[in-house]
């Protein structure tokens, strides 16, 4: 089972950047998306993320995320048009202000989610946590917690699929098109998934403690993550993106 945040091997410049520089690029695009207020800037930032995804060979992961987010974005547009009533009427209950507000909110939703996914697909989680500890001086336990939570996402997905297959074998039909009925069928699955999650968490904590987790310091890593010229250039470009987003 391939997860959208699994590492995509490659030898591109984006892959060779320091994990902190990649994190800066994602943060720059996200912050610029939040502060931008024009369609050309919002669309440009979204296009930049997709172009970087094509360059890094991770466009398939980004498109799979888009398939999930686009319906959510459309729902957001409808909600905004229902609550924002200013401007001139367009069609039905929709007004110009509602459509503008909703469309910008939808573009921000897409523009905020994709850069982080792109950064995770071109960065190994071990490198990300070690670089955060060494360069950003984040305590190792916090970096480890973040990366471990990301590792558990596909595991919980597989566990959920296994539980659903077991229930399907017992005659439960999950392919219903009724969303309310499907929600009622999915809710009972939360209990066995929670029990399994707690068991995996306890086993992971015990294994980490036996390996001397609490003795880990910033100097414990055998691999170093210095910032080179290309990394500083990426950080400067990320700051420039934020400035352009504020202006436009």
Give the list of residues 6+ apart from residue 129 with CB closer than 8 angstroms, or none.
140, 143, 144, 146, 147
pLDDT of residue 216: 66
The string of DSSP letters for 158-183 reads HHHHHHHHHHHHTT-----S-HHHHH
pLDDT of residue 239: 93
Tell me the mean pLDDT per 10 residues along the chain, length 248.
71 91 93 91 93 90 87 88 79 82 90 90 87 83 78 74 78 72 76 77 76 66 82 93 88
Whether 124 contacts 15, CB under 8 Å: no
pLDDT of residue 4: 67
Residue 176 — φ and ψ, nearest 5°? -70, 150
Whether 55 contacts 15, CB under 8 Å: no
Q: Indicate yes or no: pTM above 0.85.
A: no
Q: HSE on the CB side for 239, CA within 13 Å?
A: 5
pLDDT of residue 215: 65
pLDDT of residue 1: 43
Q: What is the distance between the alpha carbons of residues 27 and 136, in angstroms, rounded to a whole number?
A: 14
Tokens 């007004």, located at residue: 95
Tokens 């930032």, located at residue: 45
**What do you get for the CA distance between the two ends of the chain, in Å?**
41
H/E stretch holding 91 = strand 89-91
């Amino acid at each position: 089972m391939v997860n959208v945040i699994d590492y995509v091997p490659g030898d591109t410049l984006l892959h060779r950047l320091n994990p902190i520089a990649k994190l800066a690029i994602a943060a720059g695009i996200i912050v610029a998306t939040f502060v931008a207020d024009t369609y050309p800037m919002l669309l440009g930032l979204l296009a930049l993320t997709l172009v970087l995804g094509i360059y890094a060979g991770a466009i398939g992961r980004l498109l799979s995320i888009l398939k999930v987010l686009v319906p959510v974005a459309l729902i957001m547009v409808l909600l905004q048009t229902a609550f924002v009533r200013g401007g001139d009427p367009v069609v039905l209950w929709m007004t110009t202000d509602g459509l503008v507000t909703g469309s910008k909110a939808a573009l921000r939703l897409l523009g905020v989610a994709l850069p982080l996914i792109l950064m995770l697909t071109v960065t190994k989680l071990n490198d990300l946590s070690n670089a955060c500890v060494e360069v950003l001086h984040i305590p190792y336990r916090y970096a480890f917690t973040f990366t471990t939570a990301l590792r558990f996402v596909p595991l919980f997905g597989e566990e959920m699929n296994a539980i659903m297959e077991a229930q399907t074998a017992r005659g439960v039909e999950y392919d219903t098109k009724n969303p309310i009925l499907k929600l009622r069928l999915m809710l009972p699955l939360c209990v066995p998934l929670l029990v399994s999650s707690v068991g995996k968490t306890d086993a992971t904590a015990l294994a980490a403690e036996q390996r001397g987790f609490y003795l880990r310091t910033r100097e414990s890593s055998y691999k170093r993550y210095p910032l080179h010229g290309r990394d500083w250039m990426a950080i400067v470009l990320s700051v420039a993106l934020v400035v352009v987003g504020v202006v436009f």
